């Protein structure tokens, strides 16, 4: 397989290749591995050299080899640019052609056998061996030599270019080739056609990592659209332990410089994570536990005996609730079940709320203030009514009820009306005795107290 790796300088291309070499040597120590990475010193990896006049030919290596060629765009067979325009034949070959030119110029002094060989080699037609050559004949022979030299040069260039053209056949011989370049556009069409995987590395803000995008074919350009079309991508952290195995143009010691446009969102995100974790920790261990959680904890911590008792009471309460819903309907009042239900409520001193719940309210004389008057739940026999007026030492008029308690909600205007003899009609009087008693109480409370009592709850029955 031929893999092309492209990235700007300093993105970790060579380092990625060194990691590949080190991994391959460890997993398959018997495989032949070659690379031209400068200063490579991994045991089991053989170095190779290449130049424009003597380029590396992968076809000379054993079948099944792994080849990592760094800076592939500098190889004349892989580069899109014509790097062979200044290519020269080897010196010894040029010397052969130059010797032919020298013989032509010195034709008159050559032995007869050399003259015959020289003329026959260059296709010179003659009827009788000339003792010397004319100027025009010399120029024609020299031109033939230079043409042969030029053909040899072009043939040598084509042989070099065949190194890249033959890449389409590399899989038939089991080769794995990795070509590293700065930009895929620097490679020629033969290399692109043979590429089956393209890896693009992007290093962000000089951090010790790079994002690797994978494609199934060469991508000539890289942008947002290309990034979205990647088959896969991953974040690759630089293995610093591998720097010692080669000489890098950059040792990746540059400090990361994240722009403020990204620092602020990152800091806010980290703060949000810390705050969320703190709140979750606090809620879990009770620092900010809400009432619902506290109630759940208290309920779950109840003793098994209490839980069992509550479970036994639930069917009884459900049965009473069902009778309440049935017997409150007019059509069911005279049924035996409802008649018994009403009798039980009367005998037990129970009451039925507006929601249909049956409750029992017990008045404890030792705790008179613990009994709360709820009009929907209790039918009272009496209620606070204005039964007198007293004058405090401050001169303020205060109404009192039938028990002598201050009624601060009654205005002084109503208190003056009371003292002037105006009485509100008693709609709740029962019989003459109650009316007379109320009338006598009202007369007795007409007296005005000129001093404020020490106990503000003094009863007015003595008034």
| Residue 379 pLDDT > 80 | no
**Cα separation, 430 vs 440, whole angstroms:** 15
pLDDT for 284 beyond 90: no
- What is the DSSP secondary structure assignment for residue 39, as one 8-state letter? T
Closest to 219 (Cα-Cα) out of 195, 254, 244: 195
CATH code, 1-257: 3.40.50.300
> Which of residues 38 and 316 earns the better pLDDT score?
38
Lowest-confidence region among 100-114, 214-228, 270-284, 354-368: 354-368
- Cβ atoms 429, 435 nearer than 8 A: yes
Unique residue bearing structure tokens 């030919």:
57
- Segments making up each domain of the chain, as ranges: 1-257, 260-300, 304-360, 384-444
Residue range 218-261, pLDDT digits in tens: 998 888 888 888 999 999 999 989 988 998 765 545 555 555 56
pLDDT band at 76 (very low <50, low <70, confident <90, very high): very high
Please write the tens of the pLDDT for every residue from 24-68: 999 999 999 999 999 999 999 999 999 988 999 999 999 999 999
- pLDDT above 70 covers a percentage of the chain that reads 71
Distance between CA atoms of 71 and 49, rounded to whole angstroms? 12
C-beta separation of 72 from 179 below 8 A: yes
Q: Are the beta carbons of 201 and 7 closer than 8 angstroms?
A: yes
What are residue 351's phi and psi, to 5 degrees? -140, 155
Selected residue with higher pLDDT from 92 and 325: 92
DSSP 375: T
pLDDT of residue 385: 83
Torsion angles phi and psi, residue 63, rounded to 5: -65, 145
Whether 125 shows a pLDDT value over 60: the answer reads yes
Number of H helices, E strands in the chain: 12, 13
């Amino acid at each position: 397989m031929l893999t092309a790796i492209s990235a700007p300088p300093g993105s970790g291309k060579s380092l990625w290749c060194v990691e590949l070499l080190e991994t391959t040597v460890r997993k398959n120590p018997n495989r032949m591995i070659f690379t031209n990475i400068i200063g490579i010193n991994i045991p089991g990896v053989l170095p190779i050299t290449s130049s424009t006049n003597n380029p590396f030919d992968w076809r000379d290596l054993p079948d099944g080899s792994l080849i990592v060629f760094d800076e592939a765009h500098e190889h004349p067979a892989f580069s899109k640019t014509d790097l062979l325009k200044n290519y020269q034949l080897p010196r010894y070959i040029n010397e052969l052609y130059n010797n032919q030119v020298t013989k032509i110029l010195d034709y008159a002094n050559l032995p007869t056998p050399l003259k015959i060989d020289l003329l026959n080699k260059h296709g010179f037609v003659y009827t009788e061996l000339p003792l010397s050559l004319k100027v025009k004949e010399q120029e024609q022979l020299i031109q033939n030599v230079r043409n042969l030299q030029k053909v040899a040069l072009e043939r040598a260039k084509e042989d070099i270019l065949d190194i890249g053209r033959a890449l389409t056949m590399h899989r038939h011989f089991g080769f794995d080739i990795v070509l590293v370049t700065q930009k895929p556009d620097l490679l020629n069409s033969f290399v692109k056609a043979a590429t089956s995987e393209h890896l693009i590395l992007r290093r962000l803000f000089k951090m010790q990592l790079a994002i690797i995008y994978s494609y199934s074919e060469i991508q000539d350009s890289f942008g947002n659209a290309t990034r979205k079309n990647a088959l896969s991508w991953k974040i690759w952290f630089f293995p610093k332990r591998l720097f010692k195995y080669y000489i890098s143009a950059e040792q990746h010691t540059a400090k990361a410089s994240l722009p403020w446009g990204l620092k602020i969102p990152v800091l806010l995100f980290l703060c949000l994570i810390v705050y969320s974790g703190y709140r979750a920790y606090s809620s879990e261990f009770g620092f900010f536990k809400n009432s619902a959680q506290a109630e759940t904890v208290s309920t779950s911590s109840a003793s098994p005996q209490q839980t069992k008792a509550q479970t036994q009471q639930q069917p009884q309460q459900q049965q009473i609730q069902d009778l309440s819903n049935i017997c409150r309907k007019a059509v069911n009042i005279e049924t035996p079940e409802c008649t018994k239900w009403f009798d039980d409520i009367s005998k037990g001193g129970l009451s039925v709320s507006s929601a249909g719940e049956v409750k029992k309210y017990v008045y404890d004389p030792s705790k008179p203030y613990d009994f709360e008057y709820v009009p929907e739940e209790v039918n009272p026999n009496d209620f606070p009514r204005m039964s007198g007026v007293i004058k405090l030492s401050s001169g303020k008029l205060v109404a009192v009820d039938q028990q002598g308690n201050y009624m601060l909600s009654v205005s002084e205007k109503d208190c003056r009306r009371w003292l002037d003899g105006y009485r509100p009609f008693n709609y709740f009087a029962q019989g003459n005795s109650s009316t007379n008693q109320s009338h006598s109480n009202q007369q007795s409370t007409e007296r005005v107290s000129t001093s404020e009592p020490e106990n503000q709850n003094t009863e007015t029955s003595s008034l």
